[in-house]
Amino acid sequence: MELVPEEANVDAELLERETPGGSPIREERIHKTHFPGAVKQKAYRFDGLGNYFTKEWDLREGSGREFCWYHVELPKGNQKLALSAQYLIDVLCPPLKLQDILTLVSNGPFCGHVDGALVFRVNSPGPSASKFTHRLAARITENSVITVSLGRVPRLGFSPTGQSLLSEIPIVDNPNMMIDEDKGGSCGIVIREHVLEFLLTMNHSEEADNPVPKKVSNLIVHIVDTHMDHLQDIVTTLEMELDSVELELDKGGFALKKQMLDDRRFPKMHLNLQRLLQVVAHGEQVFPRVKEKCSTKSWFAPEDIVALEELIGRLRRLKENVGFIANRVTAIQAGLDSWQAAQINRKLYYLSFLSIIFLPLSIITGMFGMNVGGVPWTEQKNPALKDGFRNVLFVCVAMLLLLLLCFSTPALYTRISAWRRRRTLRRSFSLNRKSFSRRTLLGGGHQNAGYLRI
pLDDT of residue 379: 64
- Per the prediction, the chain carries an average pLDDT of 76
State how far the Cα of 15 lies from the Cα of 175, in Å rounded to an integer. Answer: 61
Amino acid at residue number 112: G
Cβ burial of 261 (10 Å; 0-12, 13-18, 19+) is middle
Tell me the average pLDDT across 395-403.
79
The answer to whether the beta carbons of residues 270 and 326 sit under 8 Å apart is yes
How many independent structural domains does the chain possess? 1
pLDDT digits (tens, 9 = 90+) for 168-185: 666 666 655 544 444 444
State how far the Cα of 34 lies from the Cα of 240, in Å rounded to an integer. Answer: 42
State how far the Cα of 222 lies from the Cα of 210, in Å rounded to an integer. Answer: 9
SS3 percent helix, strand, coil of the chain, rounded to 5, is 55, 10, 30
* Those residues with Cβ within 8 angstroms of residue 312's Cβ, 6 or more apart along the chain or in another chain: 284, 287, 288, 291
pLDDT of residue 410: 80
Helix, strand, or coil (residue 172): strand
Burial code (b: 16+ CB inside 10 Å, e: under 16) for 39-76 equals: beebbbbbeeeeebeeeeeebeebeeeebbbbbbbbbe
More confident residue, 127 or 188: 127
More confident residue, 429 or 452: 429
pLDDT of residue 338: 85
Tell me the average pLDDT across 212-230.
89
More confident residue, 206 or 30: 206
pLDDT at 293 over 60: yes
* Those residues with Cβ within 8 angstroms of residue 81's Cβ, 6 or more apart along the chain or in another chain: 105, 106, 107
- CATH number of the domain that residue 338 is part of: 1.20.58.340
Tell me the average pLDDT across 357-376.
70
Specify if 153 maps to a domain. Answer: yes
Specify if 354 maps to a domain. Answer: no
Helix, strand, or coil (residue 424): helix
Specify if 144 maps to a domain. Answer: yes
Specify if 217 maps to a domain. Answer: yes
Torsion from C-alpha of 233, 224, 274, 72, nearest 10 degrees:
90
Structural domain including 217 reads: 40-157+190-201+211-344
Strands (DSSP E) along 128-280, which ranges?
Answer: 136-140, 144-150, 171-173, 190-192
pLDDT of residue 68: 92
pLDDT at 70 over 90: yes
Specify if 216 maps to a domain. Answer: yes
More confident residue, 191 or 268: 268
Q: What are φ and ψ of residue 8, in 5° steps?
A: -65, -40
Q: What are φ and ψ of residue 45, in 5° steps?
A: -125, 125
Specify if 300 maps to a domain. Answer: yes
Tell me the average pLDDT across 141-165.
79
Lowest mean pLDDT, pick from 69-83, 197-211, 301-315, 418-432? 197-211
Specify if 349 maps to a domain. Answer: no
State how far the Cα of 358 lies from the Cα of 403, in Å rounded to an integer. Answer: 10
Please, which pLDDT band fits residue 98 given cuts at 50, 70 and 90? confident
Tell me the average pLDDT across 138-146.
91
Specify if 384 maps to a domain. Answer: no
Q: ω into residue 95 within 30 of 0, thus cis?
A: yes
Q: ω into residue 211 within 30 of 0, thus cis?
A: no
